[in-house]
Chains A and B, each alone.
Chain A
Amino acid sequence: MIDLVWLIPLFPAVGFLFNGLIGKWLDLDKRVVGSVACTALGLSFLFSILIFFSLLKLPPEARAAVPDKVLFDWIVSGDFKTVIGYKVDPLSIVMALVVSGVSFFIHVYSVGYMHDDPGFTRYFAYLNLFVFMMLTLVLANNFLLMFVGWEGVGLCSYLLIGFWFERDAPANAGKKAFVVNRVGDFGFLLGIFLIFAHLGTVGFNEVFAKAPSLDTATVTLITLMLFVGAAGKSAQIPLYVWLPDAMEGPTPVSSLIHAATMVTSGVYMIARCHLLYSMAPISMAVVAIVGAATALYAASMGLLQFDIKRVLAYSTISQLGYMFLAVGVGAFSAGIFHLMTHAFFKGLLFLGAGSVMHAMSGELDMRKMGGIWKRVPITFLTFLVATLAIAGIPGFSGFFSKDEILWQAFSSNHGHLYLWVVGAVAAGMTAFYMFRLLFVTFLGPCRASEEVKKHIHESPPIMTIPLMVLALLSVIGGYVGIPHILGGRNFFHEFLAPVLGGAPQGTEHAAFSLVRPVFASGGAAVGEGVNMELLLMGVSVAVAIIGICIAFYLYIWKTEVPKRLGERFKTIYTIVFNKYYVDEIYEVCFVNSTKKLGTFLWRRFDDGVVDRSVNLVAELMAWLGSVLRRIQTGYVQSYALGIILGAVIIIIFLIR
């Protein structure tokens, strides 16, 4: 069964070819196109589940040692050899499950959402191609094939962000995403080159087997380069700027690519290379700090946005920051755990936003919504579930994963108190802006125009069923990883342990000695690590609830307060509302100078040197021709003269 792993990416590839070539050519009916795309994904999901259970039947230590399924040699050149091969282990199968599962539900949702779009066939072709590439990325057994998937998802992201390319904004957003990703991909590629230069191979098994022979400086450089790639793909500081703009794409695309799957591939990649990262504490620290900073920074930008999808975009960046915080402190399985739960609830949030847009005639500005919860009950309820999950309310999946990250950030060998503080504050902000979004969108008075109001309606079942499924997953998804402290088995970590190693448990170490006096002076019953874990859990839940309460106070109870606060702190408000002017700063620092360089090279070098030298040669030849053609007088006798001259010269040689 496990040998059939290559079928998982094959189905979407077939779907892509079918829809992209035949579907476009024959102009097939939307029902055919939609069912082909969904069936492909359904089969892919089915095989992921089957392989997951086959893997589960193996004893834990055998699960990570399943031999790679090598299809064929890909590049053989001298000593270098790489293959098209798929790796099945707990990590990749979890990713495959998440990707194919979430993709399947989003495909089904898309059939309803994109129903009236003229680019229906193109959309599903791209979407299938995306899933194929994403599965290639997560199942690849070497860096090079992973890079193919990496670039492939980047391409699909570009195509789908710019799906409505007739308008400027999506086309430009697509370009921006592509260019910013290119910066990250460059780092990733350099990392792969370094690995090959030092180890002579790019296969995961070989690299990780040989990795201990590397010295720390090399490993640090390699891991930092890989992290540049991850930061680009997963929208971390400083390469996050493309993700908010990527919301110009169709909403299910935002849900699938820019929330649930593609943007998390950086986290997956770092978890995959955890052996390398474990050898490079500096890189780990960089990852953790960048992750924590991104979590806080993006959350602060999400506080003031009015565009539903942009709030969710900043929320995604912030949550990705959490995941990097987790892998940065060595809690790789916690990062993957959050990746999974995040895929569920963030995918659901975007789909819910799409459903709201569907109801509100395409409106995105939450100031023009409100009070619609009775008209769209399923959307509202599922959205509420997802919001509770992301806010980290106990009982929902987000609580387990987020709390574990925070605990690890505090207690891990690589952790630090400040990382926890930043994470907790960001968690509070998350709870605040998510409930602000919920309150403003669904509750309160309706601020929509009369025209729009008339058309508010619940989405068809093909859209609401995926919502309900994902809502269910958002609730129960967390129960696979109930921490020991709450009496759970933490099955998820046990499953991943053969690959990622045992998650660092909350034992006595340096961080405690650092922080104990702080808590001890507060008189709290601190002393046992277990109590500490419970305490921190309580604190983070309390922070989340405070965030919710503030949101309730500001947006339900005293709705005039936000405006006053905005006027009072006008400078800060403007800066944050304008996203810290980062886009403008980048524009000035990088974009303009690059453009200037490009213009300079174009005008001066290309036009001035290359083209002119080419033209010069051409002009020289033309001039030479205009001179030499005077020899061709057109008179027969001048040619006869030439013949006799030639005869004279030839005879000179003959009688010499």
Chain B
Amino acid sequence: MTGSIFYWIAFVVTALAAVFAAVMVITRRNPIHSAMFLVLNFLCIAVLYLLLNAQFIAIIQVMIYAGAIMMLVIFVIMLLSVEEEERRRKIPVPLAQMLGMVLVFILFAQLIFGVVVKVLPGEQGEFSPERIAELGDVKTIAGLLFTKFLFPFEVASIILLVGIIGAVILSKKER
């Protein structure tokens, strides 16, 4: 399947769309536009997940990221009525930002070098796509979540609880 021409075209289109959306996110001056392109980016990544045979994650990517979190972000943008960033900066390009760009470029080069040149280590697992298809994606993940990853699962629940409490305390008006 991965060798089919349809797969190839699907990958190229969604990958390009994702990168394009990412570039638009950081270049739009209006935060609402940025947010919209971010939604597009998340949707593209969800498609990539589907290509990688991870249907469950693709679904929750759309539901949580593109749905819930971006909903929240747009709500906050509206609430704070943030205006567009002005076009001109007082100092055209600050030293720190130039340095930041250089660093980001080095980081990118390192990542590419890492994945292209270095042989990535890794053990073959027991869940081949055929096996997952046979067992069922969601069922398999749920099984692992409540057996092998029980402890991280509980920790994650605590993190969510802390997040809820933190949000409540932060947004509470001081008496």
Complex Cα–Cα for A640 and B96 (A): 11
List the A residue with the shortest CB-CB distance to B100. Answer: A641
Complex CA–CA separation, A652 to B118 (angstroms): 13
Q: Which residues of B contact A651 (CB under 8 A)?
A: 107, 110-111, 114
On whether the beta carbons of B103 and A655 are closer than 8 Å, the reply is no
CB distance from B99 to the nearest CB of A (A): 7
Residue numbers in B under 8 Å from A640 (CB-CB): 100
B106 at the interface (CB under 8 A from A): yes
When the two chains form their complex, are residues A652 and B107 in contact, meaning their CB atoms are under 8 A apart? no
Contact indicator per residue, chain B 118-130, by CB within 8 Å of chain A (1) or not (0):
1000000000000
> What residues on B are CB-neighbors of A655 within 8 Å?
110, 113-114, 117-118
Q: B52: CB under 8 A from chain A?
A: no
A-B pairs with CB below 8 Å: how many?
A: 29
Q: How many residues of A contact B (CB 8 A)?
A: 12
The interface size bin for chain B is: 10 to 19
Give CA–CA (A354, B96) in the complex, Å. 89
Give every chain B residue within 8 A of A638 (Cβ-Cβ).
Answer: 96
Docked CA distance A26–B171 (Å): 60
Q: Is the CB of B113 within 8 A of A641?
A: no
Q: Is residue B63 contacting chain A, with contact meaning CB distance below 8 A? A: no
Complex CA distance for A231 and B27, rounded to whole angstroms: 96
CB distance from A90 to the nearest CB of B (A): 85
Bound complex: CA of A640 vs CA of B117, how far in Å? Answer: 28
Q: How far is the CA of A414 from the CA of B70 in the complex (A)?
A: 113
From A27-35, A133-141, A642-650, give the one contacting chain B.
A642-650
Specify the chain A residue showing the minimal Cβ separation from B99. A641
Min CB distance B27 to A, Å, is 17
Question: Residues of A contacting B106 with CB < 8 Å?
Answer: 648
Q: Does B100 lie within 8 Å of A648, measured CB to CB?
A: no
Closest to B97 in A: A637
Q: Can you list, as one digit per residue, whether each of A620-656 has a CB less than 8 Å from chain B (1) or not (0)?
A: 0000000000000000011011001101100110110
Q: In the complex, A644 Cα to B117 Cα: how many Å?
A: 22
- Determine the distance from Cα of A647 to Cα of B106 in the docked complex, in whole angstroms: 10
Query: In the complex, which residue of chain B has the Cβ closest to the Cβ of A641?
Result: B100
Does chain A have a CB within 8 A of B161? no
Contact of A648 with B118 at beta-carbon distance under 8 Å, contacts A637-B96, A641-B96, A641-B99 already known? no
Instruction: Knowing A637-B96, A638-B96, say if A644 contacts B103 (CB, 8 Å).
Output: yes
Which residues 9-50 of B have a CB within 8 angstroms of A?
Answer: none
As a 0/1 sequence over residues 461 to 492 of chain A, the CB contacts with chain B under 8 angstroms (1 = contact) are 00000000000000000000000000000000
Closest residue to B118 on the A side, CB-wise? A655
Nearest to B111 among chain A residues (CB) is A651
**Contact residue among A641, A645, A652 (Cβ-Cβ distance under 8 Å from B110):** A652
- A-B CB contact pairs (8 Å), 22 listed: A637-B96, A637-B100, A640-B100, A641-B96, A641-B99, A644-B103, A644-B107, A647-B107, A648-B103, A648-B106, A648-B107, A651-B107, A651-B110, A651-B111, A651-B114, A652-B110, A654-B114, A655-B110, A655-B113, A655-B114, A655-B117, A655-B118
B-side interface residues toward A, CB under 8 Å?
96, 99-100, 103-104, 106-107, 110-111, 113-114, 117-118
The 9 closest A-B pairs by CB, nearest first: A651-B110, A655-B114, A644-B103, A641-B100, A648-B107, A648-B106, A655-B118, A645-B103, A648-B103
